[in-house]
Amino acid sequence: MEPTEFEAWGKVVVDVAAERILAAIPAAQKPEPGKTARRSLASMGYISRHMLFLQPDLLAPRALWLFVVPKGHTYDFRPPHDRVGAGLMHNATDELSPSRFAAGMQRSGNFTWKVHLDARYEGYRLGIRVTPEEEAAEAVAEDLSGQVLSSLERIGLLAPAG
């Protein structure tokens, strides 16, 4: 798949996943949708979006970073593969503490501390290998958003319904 096709596919994944995730975050937690953007790092394009929200106690902010990267990208993981993923952070630039206790990640669901291919980047991440030529973007978005939402519930970052 050509880079422009990959990026168009990735934008659909991120947009659809973001819509599902934002719809599940209660308004009281002040979700901010952010914008999906094409970015470039080390001359390789990728798709990225940061969404902000408050913890259920409304005392601390959190950010959810959705991304789609081609095989071998700086933000990919080992072993290299085309990948969609999510990162859980304090905000759009600051990572949570690697200490599970300090980060409130004792029950982290699918988020684990991962180091990207470029070891300068690491944090609580959820990564899914994908084959864009064979997988519909909407189906991948459904999988990504489902894993993110179940993890946010397990961690306790979504206020109970009602």
Nearest CA-CA partner of 159 in 19, 32, 50, 31: 31
Question: Whose CA is closest to 75, among 25, 22, 116, 113?
Answer: 116
The number of residues in the chain equals 162
Domain assignment of residue 27, yes or no: yes
Q: Which helix (DSSP H) or strand (DSSP E) does residue 67 occupy?
A: strand 61-69
pLDDT digits (tens, 9 = 90+) for 96-115: 999 988 888 888 789 999 99
Domain assignment present for residue 93? The answer is yes
Domain for residue 146, yes or no?
yes
Count the domains in the chain. 1
Across 9-18, 34-43, 108-117, which has the greatest mean pLDDT?
9-18
Examine residue 119 and state whether it is found in any structural domain, yes or no: yes
Q: pTM here?
A: 0.94
pLDDT tops 80 at residue 47: yes
> In the prediction, which pLDDT does 142 show?
99
Residue 119 structural domain: 3-155
For the domain that residue 70 is a member of, what is the CATH number?
3.90.1150
pLDDT score recorded for residue 162: 58
What is the structure's pLDDT at 109?
80
> In one letter, which amino acid is 120?
R
Asked if 49 and 34 touch (Cβ cutoff 8 Å), the reply is yes
- The residue-averaged pLDDT of 70-86 equals 95
Q: How far apart are CA 30 and CA 133, in angstroms?
A: 36
Query: From CA 32, how far away is CA 63, in angstroms rounded?
Result: 9
Q: Share the mean pLDDT of the chain.
A: 94
Q: Residue 40 — very low, low, confident or very high, per pLDDT cuts 50/70/90?
A: confident
Question: Over 90: is that where the pLDDT of 116 sits?
Answer: yes
Q: Does any domain span residue 20?
A: yes
